[in-house]
Amino acid sequence: MDQNATIKEMAAPEGRVSPAQLVDFVARAFVAAGLPQPDAQTVAGLMVQADLRGSDTHGVIRLPLYVRRLRAGGINVKPNICVLNDRASAALIDGDNGMGHLVMRRATELAIEKAKVTGVGWVGVRMSNHAGPAALYVTMPLAHDMVGLYFAVGSNNHLPPWGGSESLLGTNPMAVAVPALEEPPIVLDMAPTVAAYGKVRLKAQRGEAMPVGWMIDREGKPLTDAKRADEGHLLPIGDYKGYGLSLIIALLAGALNRAAVGREVIDFVKETGKATNTGQAIMAVSIEAFVPPAEFKKTVDGFVRDIRQSKRLPGVERIWLPGEQSHAKQLDRNAHGIPTPKALRESLDAVARELKIAPLN
Amino acid sequence: MDQNATIKEMAAPEGRVSPAQLVDFVARAFVAAGLPQPDAQTVAGLMVQADLRGSDTHGVIRLPLYVRRLRAGGINVKPNICVLNDRASAALIDGDNGMGHLVMRRATELAIEKAKVTGVGWVGVRMSNHAGPAALYVTMPLAHDMVGLYFAVGSNNHLPPWGGSESLLGTNPMAVAVPALEEPPIVLDMAPTVAAYGKVRLKAQRGEAMPVGWMIDREGKPLTDAKRADEGHLLPIGDYKGYGLSLIIALLAGALNRAAVGREVIDFVKETGKATNTGQAIMAVSIEAFVPPAEFKKTVDGFVRDIRQSKRLPGVERIWLPGEQSHAKQLDRNAHGIPTPKALRESLDAVARELKIAPLN
């Protein structure tokens, strides 16, 4: 994410809402659900930042679920987030089952502080929760001329081991962000599965079939009926490679932090009253420890342009860099507001009714 | 790799050679090619360790190429490997174009030292060379109750950006190693392409067709004739995801270390007289900084067993963990010697003739 992005006061065109209006609504909802005002504001700001950069599946759309979990006691409204272990370049934070956004923001700030002093900071968290898209945190080090790396244990198990028929692994994301000079930063944010589970849900809602290669059923046969998703499993990228990636991320972001992995992972959508013990890990790496940041960022610009201008396959109009489309969305949405499709509006209105607060204007 | 693996004196059964004999031969070859005796011994030991754990494409089989590059002046026989930047948790090493094994061993030792003090060590290298399989280095931290992470820029460009038709990226590997208690360590060592280029070469040698999905030609059509590999490109895992991974690894292991990326990467097989300026990065993370190592390793054991014993798809006999098959090979080869197929024997004999040294017995 562009670190200069600010949430502006503005009039949004029809079908769109200004970031400030959306932050205000989300913060009011969280206050009504029991969060202290400053925490509500922080989480709302991060959630709207997610929408600004186009993470439509990981931003404000999650508000109803978060509220449900807060009200069911599945998330602690007044957590005592504390540092359990603290070394010069490594720390473990216990999130006390608070909102993941609060826990991860604290962890990222600590990783950046450590990297300033020693060159590298790695902060793991336990007893955290779903924290929105990785991009929110992995891009925070960029403003400090640092590279960010992020690993997280997914909030559901949808992936079996390679050859297996039991989902013991999640769509555990990994993300890396690298700054450029004039070009948008490179932001890779990927799950080790061919399709994200959110995409499967979308296909089910729309009554569309899934392409072969997204999922298999319990016999290993292609599953294309999205409504039957519960009867099958996601497929990993690169066969056994995606399985290995998911497992490694579970170990680095989960087991290393005494967070839930494997059979300990609960379905956070279904078990709203239970703590997830979500594990995440964020790393900040100071560029200056290796090479002058200006020189590095110029190299990134050059590489980006070589790639963008390289020969394309027939029919391909443009070669994109990881994070470039999100960056373009961010520019557009900062200028013109955030689209609020009918289904999103309705779900936010329902939250307002439930919490007895004024709806989003 | 099992840190307890030692290279034993033993009589090898027919078609196999003892690790000690192989180390002796490889070391003699390197001395004849100009390497100082201790360096020759170190590199030979690491190359044979690669063969011991089943990395048949990245171990002793590379001797002829290394010797060719050493004799052509493409690798510096007496490098002054030095630390350019040195922070508490981060360092940049200049390998002075020495053998990659020497550079990476030094880098890994330094990363481990830093992790002992601060919890994390990240050491990047520039002016390095092909260093054999990632597993050699990424497993070194395990004996210190640390996790290892490794990124490297591949020694060739075989991968275009997603949508592109020009190979500006390599099969840049990433590797992660995590120790267990009674179970073999988890070792993930993967390239972001569906197939390794070595597998393509093997298909060409055998006159076999490649499966659809390994490569495309310059028009984007499936390329299955391995003999025409030069006319096409490898495909990334997970489409744009594998492209993103390769790019990110190029930035972390290459650009951050002022090593070659993109158009700067030379073909180390064809341009034997030129320095590759290979970039690699190794990270050591102290488990103790997060959780007591014994507790962590017990958790890994439990997770491994849950996965291994989980329900399998019809027809699947066993679920493997990343690194488990290499571990099994290592036990077998430590006990019974390293297989030396006819083609390998012949190429080693040719090296012996060229260097006027006694052949491998």
Instruction: Write out residues in chain A with pLDDT < 50, as ranges.
Output: 1-9
- Strand duo B222-223 + B232-234: pairing: unpaired
B3 at the A interface (CB within 8 A)?
no
pLDDT at A3: 36
Query: Is the distance from CB of A336 to CB of A12 less than 8 angstroms?
Result: yes
pLDDT of B339 above 50: yes
pLDDT at B361: 81
Q: Where exactly does CATH 3.30.1370.60 map onto chain A?
A: 16-193+236-292+330-355
**What is the DSSP annotation of A48-83?**
HHHHHTT-TTTSGGGHHHHHHHHHTTSS-SS---EE
pLDDT at B1: 35
pLDDT at A4: 37
Residues of A in contact with B186 (CB under 8 A): 247-248, 251
pLDDT digits (tens, 9 = 90+) for A135-151: 999 999 999 999 999 99
Mean pLDDT across B83-112: 98
B198 confidence band (pLDDT: 50, 70, 90): confident
Residues of B in contact with A188 (CB under 8 A): 244-245, 247-248
pLDDT digits (tens, 9 = 90+) for B39-59: 999 999 999 999 999 998 899
What is the CATH architecture of B16-193+236-290+330-355?
Answer: 2-Layer Sandwich (3.30)
CA atoms of B71 and B130, how far apart (whole Å):
16
Beta carbons of B289 and A92 less than 8 Å apart? yes
pLDDT at B12: 64
pLDDT at B257: 98
Q: Which of B176, B196, B198 is nearest to B187 (CA)?
A: B176
| Nearest-Cα residue of chain A relative to residue B86 | A289
The listed CATH number (3.40.50.20, 3.30.60.50, 3.50.50.60, 3.40.190.10) that belongs to domain A194-235: 3.30.60.50
pLDDT at B9: 46
pLDDT of B75 above 50: yes
pLDDT at A56: 87
pLDDT of B13 above 80: no
pLDDT at B314: 96
CATH class of domain segment(s) A16-193+236-292+330-355: alpha beta
- Pair of tokens at residue A40: 């509500």
Mean pLDDT across B214-242: 95
SS3 A336: helix
Nearest-CA distance A89 → chain B (Å): 5
Burial class of A335 by CB neighbour count within 10 A (0 to 12, 13 to 18, 19+): exposed
- Pair of tokens at residue B79: 């490098």
CB-CB: which of B194, B256, B289 is closest to A85? B289
Beta carbons of B219 and A300 less than 8 Å apart? no
B15 confidence band (pLDDT: 50, 70, 90): confident
Pick from B184-193, B201-210, B328-337: least confident: B201-210
pLDDT at B4: 37
pLDDT at A12: 64
Other CB atoms within 10 A of residue B356 CB? 7
DSSP state of B236: B
CB-CB: which of A164, A186, A321 is closest to B311? A164
Q: Where exactly does CATH 3.30.60.50 map onto chain A?
A: 194-235
pLDDT at B206: 87
Beta carbons of A118 and B248 less than 8 Å apart? no
Q: Is the interface score ipTM higher than 0.90?
A: yes
Query: Is the distance from CB of A124 to CB of A156 less than 8 angstroms?
Result: no
* Residues in Cβ contact with A292 at an 8 Å cutoff, skipping those fewer than 6 apart: none
Beta carbons of A188 and B247 less than 8 Å apart? yes
SS3 B285: strand
SS3 B244: helix
